[in-house]
C-alpha cells in the first residue's frame, strides 16, 4: 500500500525552508572556495611551476569560457530534469574539476580541470537561485538571497586567507589545491542532502511544480522587458570590474605595494568580509523599502574611485593598521592607503548583489 500525504496549503515551515537554504548555501560555499583558490596561489605557481602571468590568468579565464553558453544550457537542463538532478549533476562537475586541477602540474590538465569546474559551478548557481526562488517566493526572498551570498562569500574569505590558517599547505603548490578539492567534494554532499529534503517534502506544500517554474520559451527572449536587459548590462559590467582584479589582487598587493602574501590575502578578502556582514543588511533594507533600484545606483558609485586610488603612485603612505586575528592565525600590518579603496569596493560589492539577483528573480 502506497502511503499518501495530504498536500498542505501555504508555505513550508521555517525549519524546512532554512534547512534547504543551509544545504544549497554550503554547496555554493564550496564552489566559491574552489574558484578563489587560485589567487593566493599565484606566486607559488610562478616560482615552483614556472607559470607566467598569462598562464595564471588562463586558469581563471578558462572557467568562464564554457559559461558563454553553458549557463543558458544549464537553464534548459534545469527545466528538463528539474533542480534536484540538475544540481546534483553540476555539483559533480564542481568536484571533478577541482580534483583534476590538483592532481598534476601540467598547465593543460589544470586548465581542463578549471574548464570542467566552470561548466558546473555557474550552472549550479543558476540551479541554487531557482531553488531559493521556489522555496522563498512567498516570504523572505531578499533575505534568503542575501544570506546565501553571505555563506558563499565565506568560501571566498577562507580561500583568500588560506595562506594564514593553512600556512603549512603553502609549502608546495599542490597543498592549497587539495583543500580546494575537498571543498568541491563538500558541494556534492550538501546537494545530496538538499535532494533528500526536496524529494521528501516539496510535494506537501504549495510550491511551484518541479520543472515548471522557469521554463524557457525561446521566442520570448526577444520580448523581454528593457529593464531586464538593463540589469543584465549592470551585472556584466559589475562583475567585469571585480573578478579580473581578484584573480591577481594578492599578487598585485605583493609586487606593487610590497605587502606580504598574508596581508594581500586579507586585503582581497575584505570584499568577502563586508559582503558577509552587509549583504543581509542591504537585503533586509531592500525588502522593507522595496526601491531596489536606488540601492543599485548607490552601490555602483562606491566602485568608481577604487582603481584610481590603488594605481601605483596615485596614493601612498606609511600609515598601517596592525591586525591580529587568532582564528585565522593572521598577524599582519595593513597599509591604510590600501584599506580605504578596498572598503569602498566592499560596500559596492555588498550592495549590488543583495538587490540585483532578487530583482532578476522577481522580474
Q: What would the grid cell of residue 292 be?
A: 531596489
Q: Residue for cell digits 568541491?
A: 184
203's CB contacts (< 8 A; 6+ apart) are 5, 7
19: Cα separation from own chain's centroid = 20
85/117 Cα distance (integer angstroms): 17
First to last CA, the chain: 44
Q: What pLDDT, on the 0 to 100 scale, is given for residue 2? A: 46
Helix axes 226-257, 53-61, angle to 10 degrees: 150
**Contacts (Cβ under 8 Å, ≥6 apart) of 289:** none
Cα–Cα distances (Å) from 314 to 38, 73, 264, 321, in that order, read 28, 44, 19, 20
Instruction: List b or e across 29-38, with b for residues whose CB sees 16 or more CB atoms inside 10 angstroms.
Output: bbbbbbbbbb
Nearest to 151 by CA among 277, 307, 267, 11: 277
Environment class of 182 (CB within 10 Å of its CB; exposed 0-12, middle 13-18, buried 19+): middle
The pLDDT, as a whole number, for residue 114 is 94
CA atoms within 13 A on the CB side of 359: 23
Grid cell 586548465 — which residue? 111
Could you read off the pLDDT tens digit of each residue along the chain, which spans 363 residues? Answer: 444 444 456 778 888 889 999 999 999 999 999 998 988 888 899 889 999 888 888 888 888 887 777 777 777 788 788 888 999 999 999 999 999 999 989 999 999 999 999 989 988 998 998 898 888 876 777 778 878 878 888 898 889 888 888 888 888 999 999 999 999 999 999 999 999 998 888 778 767 666 544 455 667 777 778 888 888 888 888 888 888 888 788 888 888 877 777 888 888 888 888 888 887 788 778 777 777 788 888 888 888 888 888 875 555 556 555 555 555 566 666 777 788 889 999 998 888 877 777 777 777
Q: Is 209 left (phi over 0), alpha (psi -120 to 50) or beta?
A: beta
Rounded to whole angstroms, how far apart are CA atoms 275 and 353? 9
Per the listing, cell 562583475 goes with 239
Cα–Cα distance for residue pair 354/359, rounded to 1 Å: 9
A 10 A CB-CB count for 139 gives 14
3-state secondary structure labels for all residues of the chain? CCCCCCCCCCCCCHHHHHHHHHHHHHHHHHHHHHHHCCHHHHHHHHHHHCCCHHHHHHHHHCCCCCHHHHHHHHHHHHHHHHHHHHHHHHHHHHHHHHHHHHHCCCHHHHHHHHHHHHHHHHHHHHHHHHHHHHHHCCCCHHHHHHHHHHHHHHHHHHHHCHHHHCHHHHHCCHHHHHHHHHHHHHHHHHHHHHHHHHHHHHHHCCCCCCCCCCCCCHHHHHHCCHHHHHHHHHHHHHHHHHHHHHHHHHHHHHHHHCCCHHHHHHHHHHHHHHHHHHHHHHHHHHHHHCCHHHHHHHHHHHHCCHHHHHCCCCCCCCCEEEEEEHHHCEEEEEEHHHHHHHHHHHHHHHHHHHHHHHHHHHC
Q: Tell me how far apart the alpha carbons of residues 138 and 129 are, in angstroms, rounded to a whole number.
A: 15
Amino acid at each position: 500500500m502506497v502511503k499518501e500525504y495530504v498536500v498542505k496549503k501555504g508555505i513550508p515551515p521555517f525549519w524546512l525552508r532554512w534547512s534547504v537554504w543551509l544545504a544549497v548555501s554550503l554547496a555554493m560555499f564550496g564552489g566559491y572556495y574552489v574558484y578563489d583558490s587560485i589567487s593566493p596561489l599565484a606566486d607559488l605557481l610562478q616560482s615552483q611551476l614556472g607559470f607566467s602571468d598569462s598562464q595564471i590568468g588562463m586558469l581563471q579565464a578558462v572557467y568562464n569560457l564554457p559559461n558563454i553558453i553553458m549557463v543558458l544550457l544549464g537553464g534548459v537542463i534545469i527545466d528538463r530534469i528539474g533542480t534536484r538532478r540538475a544540481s546534483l549533476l553540476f555539483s559533480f562537475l564542481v568536484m571533478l574539476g577541482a580534483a583534476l586541477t590538483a592532481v598534476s602540474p601540467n598547465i593543460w590538465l589544470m586548465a581542463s580541470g578549471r574548464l570542467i569546474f566552470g561548466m558546473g559551478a555557474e550552472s549550479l548557481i543558476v540551479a541554487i537561485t531557482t531553488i531559493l526562488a521556489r522555496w522563498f517566493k512567498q516570504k523572505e526572498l531578499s533575505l534568503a538571497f542575501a544570506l546565501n551570498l553571505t555563506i558563499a562569500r565565506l568560501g571566498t574569505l577562507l580561500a583568500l586567507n588560506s595562506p594564514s590558517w593553512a600556512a603549512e599547505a603553502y609549502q608546495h603548490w599542490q597543498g592549497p589545491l587539495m583543500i580546494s578539492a575537498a571543498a568541491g567534494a563538500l558541494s556534492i554532499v550538501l546537494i545530496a542532502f538538499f535532494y533528500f529534503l526536496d524529494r521528501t517534502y516539496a510535494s506537501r506544500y504549495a510550491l511551484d511544480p518541479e520543472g515548471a517554474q522557469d521554463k524557457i520559451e525561446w521566442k520570448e527572449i526577444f520580448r523581454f522587458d528593457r529593464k531586464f536587459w538593463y540589469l543584465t548590462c549592470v551585472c556584466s559590467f559589475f562583475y567585469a570590474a571585480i573578478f579580473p582584479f581578484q584573480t591577481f589582487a594578492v599578487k598585485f598587493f605583493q609586487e606593487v605595494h610590497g605587502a606580504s602574501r598574508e596581508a594581500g590575502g586579507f586585503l582581497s578578502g575584505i570584499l568577502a568580509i563586508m559582503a558577509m556582514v552587509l549583504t543581509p543588511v542591504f537585503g533586509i533594507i531592500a525588502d522593507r523599502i522595496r526601491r531596489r533600484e536606488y540601492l543599485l545606483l548607490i552601490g555602483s558609485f562606491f566602485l568608481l574611485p577604487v582603481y584610481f586610488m590603488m594605481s601605483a603612485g596615485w596614493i601612498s603612505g606609511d600609515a598601517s593598521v596592525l591586525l591580529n586575528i587568532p582564528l585565522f592565525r593572521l598577524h599582519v600590518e595593513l597599509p591604510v592607503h590600501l584599506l580605504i579603496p578596498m572598503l569602498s569596493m566592499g560596500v559596492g560589492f555588498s550592495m549590488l548583489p543583495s538587490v540585483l539577483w532578487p530583482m532578476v528573480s522577481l522580474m
